């Protein structure tokens, strides 16, 4: 029995960057090209003396909308099955996309706890854009920057409360 956290979200939102930050590794390949084919990565994170497992749900192949449709469901359904808490990453610099809406819909229809994480909030200025994410119907968005670490301490404190 462990505490398992799965990171889901559309390509390029920063899932692998967050995974690497949480696990202090460079195992997950960070790529600028959306849809880089990579499978799931498993790692461990320790925060405030507590340990939990992290899953990076990897690259989605989105060559066609059909493939995306299948892949999106496969990754999100697997995450829901495996995880105790689901981290749903969105990109605050990009705003809400159709893909985000699809994932949000799947996540709202299940019972595992979901933390909505607005990534790429590299400076405090981005806080003015966070309100739109309430529209996803998944509660409070947590602002972080996976790349520079802003907000990640508060986010991890909150995450621990789900275990």
* Contact call for residues 8 and 86 (beta carbons, < 8 A): yes
For the beta sheet containing 4-8, the strands, ordered from the edge strand earlier in sequence to the opposite edge, are: 41-47, 50-56, 4-8, 85-91, 114-119, 141-143
Going through 48-113 in order, the beta strands assigned E by DSSP cover 50-56, 85-91
Measured from the CB atom, is 52 or 75 closer to ligand GDP? 75
The count of residues interacting with ligand GDP (CB under 6 A) is 17
Residue 12 binds Mg ion, judged by CB under 5 A: no
> Which of the stretches 62-70, 71-79, 116-124, 135-143 binds ligand GDP when contact is defined by CB under 6 A?
116-124
Q: Which is nearer to Mg ion, 16 or 23 (CB)?
A: 16
Candidates 6, 11, 68, 133; binder of ligand GDP (CB under 6 A) is 11
Which residues ranging from 24 to 53 are in contact with ligand GDP (CB under 6 A)? 30-32
CB atoms within 10 A of CB 101: 12
- Of 92, 110, 102, residue with least CA distance to 70: 102
Q: And the tokens for 76? A: 């999100």
Q: Which of 5, 8, 13, 16 binds Mg ion (CB under 5 A)?
A: 16
Among 23, 41, 119, 152, binds ligand GDP (CB under 6 A): 119
Tell whether residue 122 is a contact of ligand GDP (CB under 6 A). Answer: yes
Assign 84 to helix, strand or coil: coil
Annotated binding site for GTP: 9-16, 56-60, 119-122
Binding site for Mg ion (CB under 5 A): 15-16
């Amino acid at each position: 029995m462990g505490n398992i956290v799965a990171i889901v979200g559309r390509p390029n939102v920063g899932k692998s960057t967050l995974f690497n930050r949480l696990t202090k590794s460079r195992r997950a390949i960070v790529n600028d090209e959306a849809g880089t084919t990579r499978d799931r990565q498993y790692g461990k994170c320790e925060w405030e003396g507590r340990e939990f497992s992290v899953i990076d749900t990897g690259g989605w192949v989105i060559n066609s909308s059909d493939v995306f449709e299948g892949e999106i469901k496969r990754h999100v359904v697997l995450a829901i099955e495996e995880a105790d808490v689901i981290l749903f990453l969105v990109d605050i610099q990009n705003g809400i996309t159709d893909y985000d809406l699809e994932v949000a819909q799947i996540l709202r229809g299940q019972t595992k706890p979901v933390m909505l994480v607005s990534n790429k909030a590299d400076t405090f200025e981005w806080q003015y854009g966070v309100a739109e994410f309430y529209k996803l119907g998944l509660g409070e968005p947590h602002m972080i920057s996976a790349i520079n670490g802003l907000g990640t301490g508060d986010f991890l404190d909150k995450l621990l409360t789900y275990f």
